[in-house]
Amino acid sequence: MEQQQTAGTDSELSAPEFAAQGQRLGAVVYFSSASRNTARFIANCHLDDEGIDVFRIPLRPKDPPLNIRQPYILIVPTYGGGSAKKAVMPQIKRFLNDPANRAGIRGVIASGNTNFGEAFCMAGDIISRKCNVPFLYYFELMGTKEDQEKVRRGVVDFFRNHPES
Ligand SMILES: Cc1cc2nc3c(=O)[nH]c(=O)nc-3n(C[C@H](O)[C@H](O)[C@H](O)COP(=O)(O)O)c2cc1C
C-alpha cells in the first residue's frame, strides 16, 4: 500500500534515517541514547528492506525536531532507574507532546534491562496507557536475533493487517 504524508509542507517533514525500499508499507520511530543499544537493534532489524521507513527522535535539544505525519510504531528504551516519572526520556515526551506527531502512533515496543525488576520496560506501559495504543513487544538491551526477527515480522504484519494505518 502506498502511503503519502498528508499534513504540513515538505519542508516541515523529517527525512527517514533509513528509507523504505520499494513500496512503502509503514513506519517506525525510535529513540536511542548515547549508549546506542536501541540504534543497534533497529539497524539489525533491516526494516527498510521490508518497506518500512525508519525515523529517529533526535538526541540533542539543538537538533531539528522530528515531524512525522504518517502512522508509525514507536520503539523506545526505558530510563529512570525505576522512577515512573523519568521512565520516558524527555526527548520522547517532547516528540509525543506535539499533537501532530502523537496522532500517528499505532503501537509501542519498549526495551530495558531486567536488572530494574518491576520497572523493566516500564516506558512501554506508560506510553501504551497515555496514548491508548497496544504495547506490542518488549526486549532487553540490544535484543537477540530472535527479537530482531520477531520485530521485523511483527511490524510488517501489523501494517499489513491495519491497511488503514
Ligand atoms: C540511568 C539508566 C536508567 C535505566 N532505567 C531503566 C529502567 O527503569 N527500566 C528498564 O527496564 N531499563 C532501564 N535502563 C536500561 C536501558 O533501558 C537499556 O540500557 C537500553 O538498552 C538503553 O537503550 P539505548 O542505549 O538505546 O539508550 C536504564 C539504563 C540507564 C543507563
Cβ atoms within 10 Å, residue 2: 6
Residue 165 host element (H or E): none
Strand-pairing partners, residue 137, are 109
Domains, the chain: 15-159 (3.40.50.360)
38 lines ligand 1 (CB under 6 A): yes
Atom of ligand 1 nearest to the CA of 39: 26
CA of 113 to the centre of ligand 1 (A): 6
More confident residue, 129 or 5: 129
Closest atom, ligand 1, to C-alpha of 35: 25
Contacts for 74 with CB less than 8 Å, ≥ 6 apart: 28, 29, 30, 92, 105, 107, 108, 109, 127
Q: pLDDT tens digits for 7-53?
A: 444 447 999 999 999 999 999 999 999 999 999 999 999 999 999 99
pLDDT in tens, 50-63: 999 999 999 998 99
C-alpha 104/C-alpha 71 separation (Å) is: 4
Q: Whose CA is closest to atom 27 on ligand 1?
A: 33
